[in-house]
Amino acid sequence: MKERALTAAGEWLLGLPERDRDIFLVRLSRYWRDLVEGLRPPYGGREDFEAFVIGLVESLTESYVARPEDLKKLDLRRMLEPGWFQDERTVGYVLYTDLFSGDLKSLPERLPYLRELGVTYLHLMPLLATRKGENDGGYAVSDYRKVEPRLGTLDDLREVCRSLREAGISLCLDLVLNHTAREHEWAAKARAGEQEYQEMYLTFPDRKLPDAYEATLPEVFPETSPGSFTYDAEMGRWVWTTFESYQWDLDWSNPKVFCEMAGVLLYLANTGVEVFRLDAVAFLWKRLGTDCQNQPEAHDLLQALRACSRIVCPAVVHKAEAIVSPDDLVHYLGTGERHGRESDLAYHNSLMVHYWSSLASRDVRLASRALARFPEKPSGTAWATYLRGHDDIGWAITDEDAAAVGLSGFAHRAFLSDYYSGSFPGSHARGAVYQENPLTGDRRISGTLASLAGVEAALEANDERLLDLAVGRILLGYALMFGYGGVPLMYMGDEISLTNDRSYLKDPRKARDNRWMHRPPMDWKKAGRRSDPRGVEGRVFRGVVELVAARKRTPHLNAAAPTHVLETGHPHVLTYIRSHPLGTLVGLHNFTEDTQYMNAGLLRHQGMEEFYDRISASPLRPDWKDDLVLSPYGSLWVTAPPKPDPHIH
């Protein structure tokens, strides 16, 4: 089959220069195994399997022929540095286009701001055409090959990609794999009775199978969209709707779905998208009697999709959006036979959760326990680290980890929901409960970084001391996110401490979803005060910029350098080491409003005799007790003193 595919591809490429033909055929041969081994488990039992694979290769060839020359040059550069996204100089920023710049055409005007912040990776939240009315924040796509009209056009997206690329910024875009909007062309044809398109979705004539599946399915949105199936009167069938009733789950057991979605990915890659956030990947494959998450075939499909990118557009990397347990999560980066062959990036949800948990409790022992046992990732991949995103915060803390440090997992999760909703006595947070599940007691939290960290409460109280502590919590989080390992992602407005926006309550399309409170529009008036060291905006912005600069001058923070959390027994200081050929970096983070001390013997045990803080770019000297001093909410990235560069005179 491989020889037949190579021969056929060679014929389809006859119109290209010989160099281009050779490059494609070499990549097809190199990633053939990844492609076919990914496709065989879900589709290998079909009689038409070989024809399906040959047809897919033809589609890949067509995408390669259509790839613009400047992007082919980018492919060649990235093949020479496949770990480009792991670089310590990589710093990410996440935004909604309309809330940041109004539309795509206006976005390049804000490039000076992004460059000032040190951004090299820009994630534009969902901007593909979506259904009218409620659309889950853009995740109910009605057309994958069009931009939402109020945001611009595909030509505008191409221009944005070009402008960003010239500025040294890679663009990340969401690609929703699990479902489409009910209004998508495929769903419309399914509702019209076309069997070919009904077979692209999971639909049922009665409740027999839906009831059997729901016996083991958890509810994602128990308050607003209970259950996992919706009756569509127009089609006269039940439709699998894992999330909202207007989001129809695709049937990935149908190879037509794979071909269509691979085609969409490559089409968007040819506009200049360099990173794809693959949404809801844990839900792709359904199996009766399970929770229909993290099934083996989902991993096979992601490996095959990555192979498609490597063949056509190797400049592109894949980021898996899988908010699952650590033991399940690491597999989305490829383990075992799929080692390093599945996704390039995945979200480190646990780091985010334990940042907030440790802030509330002022105790890092639970975080140290959980993070020390976190599975090690493949060396050629990276975590995406973050303090919060566009979604709510769920308390993914296991009963086992909690019990190991003398806590009740249920009680601690309840405490965190109380604390960050502001109902716990003495809480500094101003968040809100999202999607309370009365059956499980699960309560998630909405709120901006600033409001959850105490800025909103401090401003309400007009208390400068409380504001100092809130700024400290924010900068502690950034130091942890930048130093821990991976691609750090800042959310729009957090760098100028934007607080909760409650204007969403006036919009009927948003009023029932309080996640909109932590999606405020960018306040450019506040951003204009970022140079004022007296205001909260300037204090946070300056602190973030200084941390970005420190990260970029610290090679130990390359994502290829492994991270190991040390369980030192210190209840208040989270400690980890980054192992690098230039030596070890020790990260120390104080999660309290009090000064803390760490014995310097810990650093000597890592082979250091002299100490240097990479954040402040200054030597460190222990006090008379041989302790390092950490200020309230203070952070240190400690290495041996850097050697002078012999090339600098």
- How many whole angstroms separate alpha carbon 421 and alpha carbon 424? 8
Structure tokens at 635: 């952070």
Radius of gyration of the chain, Cα coordinates, nearest whole angstrom:
25
Task: Please report which helix (H) or strand (E) contains residue 37, including its range.
Answer: helix 32-43
**Torsion angle in degrees (nearest 10) through CA of 437, 441, 442, 443:** 80
Contact 131, 246 (CB under 8 A): yes
Where does residue 510 rank: exposed (0-12), middle (13-18), buried (19+ CB within 10 A)?
middle
Catalytic residue among 103, 251, 279, 300: 279
Catalytic residue from among 148, 321, 456, 537: 321
Q: DSSP label at 226?
A: -
Residue that the structure tokens 């919590």 belong to: 473
The DSSP line for 468-497 is HHHHHHHHHHHHHHHHHSSEEEEETTGGGT
Q: Distance between alpha carbon 415 and the CA centroid of its chain, in Å?
A: 26
Query: Going along 183-267, which residue ranges are E strands?
Result: 203-204, 229-232, 237-240, 247-249
- Tell me if residue 501 is catalytic: no
The DSSP annotation for 570-610 comes to -SSEEEEEEEETTEEEEEEEE-SSS-EEEETHHHHTTT-SS
Token code pair at residue 114: 């992004």
Q: Is 81 noted as a catalytic residue in this protein?
A: no
E strand segments, 369-431: 382-386
For 122, the 3-state DSSP assignment is strand
- Interatomic CA distance for residues 531 and 407, integer angstroms: 44
DSSP letter, residue 102: S
Residue 589 · residue 481 · CB < 8 Å: no
Residues contacting residue 171 through CB under 8 Å, at least 6 positions apart: 122, 123, 124, 160, 161, 164, 165, 272, 273, 274, 275
- Of the candidates 501, 525, 503, 524, the one whose C-alpha atom is nearest the C-alpha of residue 448 is 501
Running DSSP on this structure, what letter comes out for residue 170?
E
User: What single DSSP character describes residue 272?
Assistant: T
Going by C-alpha positions, the residue among 520, 426, 443 that lies closest to residue 98 is: 520
- The enclosing H or E element of 437 equals strand 432-437
Size of the chain, expressed as the number of residues it contains: 649
Closest among 522, 462, 516 to 492, alpha carbons compared:
522
Annotated catalytic residues are 279, 321
